[in-house]
Amino acid sequence: MRYSILFFLLLFCTEAIAQKYSNEFLAIGIGARARAMGNATIASTNSVMATYWNPAALGNLDITGIQAGAMHTEQFAGVAKFDYLGVTLPLNTPNRRVGASLIRFGIDDIPNTLSLFEEDGSINYDNIVPFSAADYALLLSYGQKINTKRGNLLVGGNAKIIYRQIGSFASSWGFGIDAAALYYGKVWRLGIVIRDASNTFNSWSFSLSDQERSTLSLTGNDLPINSVEKTSPQITLGIARPFSINENWNLLAEMDLIATTDGKRNTLVSADPISMDVAAGLEFEFKDRLFLRMGVNNFQRDNNFFSKDFLTVQPNIGVGLKLAQFQVDYAFTDVGEQRNQTYSHVISLIMDISTR
């Protein structure tokens, strides 16, 4: 317990120096529909949650008023909490919408043990004060439809503000831009999203007392310094197609290709500086009321005593129910780590609000 605070400080400081997996909380994915489909939803997102997945799709939402959405899930057996709240509304010009989303990923009640010992070496548990390490993102979104002779082209993007805080020890502000496009053909749907297209920069500042600095030095930890962290672009290409099974059932299938540009990662195709991964999902729809979903993503290579190298994958399943102006979605996922599985339950709600 004594070194728990040191671990979190070292984790965030190392990230600021290496700049790999920067702002990775924004890669988790929001909404039970998307999570159940393995986050393969770039080309098929169709709700307020398009503000996160593909803001261009806002221009194609088939609603006249305001739509709001919310999500809650707990990761790693409840240690981390991930929440989302979003809203979208139309502009006066047809086929144009704006939206806003607030995302929080946090670990609460972390014991601060830097002051556990008194000057005489005795232990004083009253000196332990809990703190939170939390990441916040505000996304301001825009999307519009452009009619063409062969189909509908949609374009959009996000301006995002990121705030990250580790108790009273450290905080950072970040700013970035996402660019997106979506094409609806007669059968196929094609989407592209470039996250952090401008590069996203987080400026870190640290505030430690003399006693905390002394403790870090005595335990062999480097003292953190003010720094700037850069998030490199990530490009996601999506292709989707709907199928009609019969008069009651329809099927939507999508596959996404995700390319990161921040160096070698443990993904399906691992290379430097570009690594690539794949996500795929299916959605069965019954009379636009009941939805059954499944998907796979997060391909990784692992090893054990019996095999030097094998591939793991994260499976996901979920259901959705639409009643009047409400839609409730649920997803059940695990991290795909064969030796130490961790499961998460994701619940999200979407509500249409009439403005007439």
The whole-angstrom separation of Cα 213 and Cα 11 is: 16
Nearest to 222 by CA among 25, 6, 3, 5: 6
Give domain limits for the chain.
4-230+319-353
Q: Is 138 exposed, middle or buried (0-12, 13-18, 19+ CB in 10 A)?
A: middle
Q: Phi and psi dihedrals of 92, rounded to 5?
A: -65, -30
d(CA 337, CA 334): 8
What's residue 250's pLDDT?
Answer: 97
Q: Which stretches of the chain score pLDDT less than 70? A: 1-20, 114-121, 124-127, 211-212, 215, 218-220, 223, 304-307, 335-341, 355-356
Query: SS3 for 268?
Result: coil
Nearest to 5 by CA among 99, 81, 111, 83: 111
Confidence at residue 343, expressed as pLDDT on a 0 to 100 scale = 79
Q: What is the pTM of this model?
A: 0.84
Q: What is the pLDDT of residues 203-221, one digit of tens each?
A: 888 887 776 677 677 666 7
- Number of other residues whose CB lies within 10 A of the CB of residue 175: 13
- pLDDT tens digits, one per residue of 245-274: 999 999 999 999 999 998 888 888 888 889
The pLDDT of residue 9 is: 42
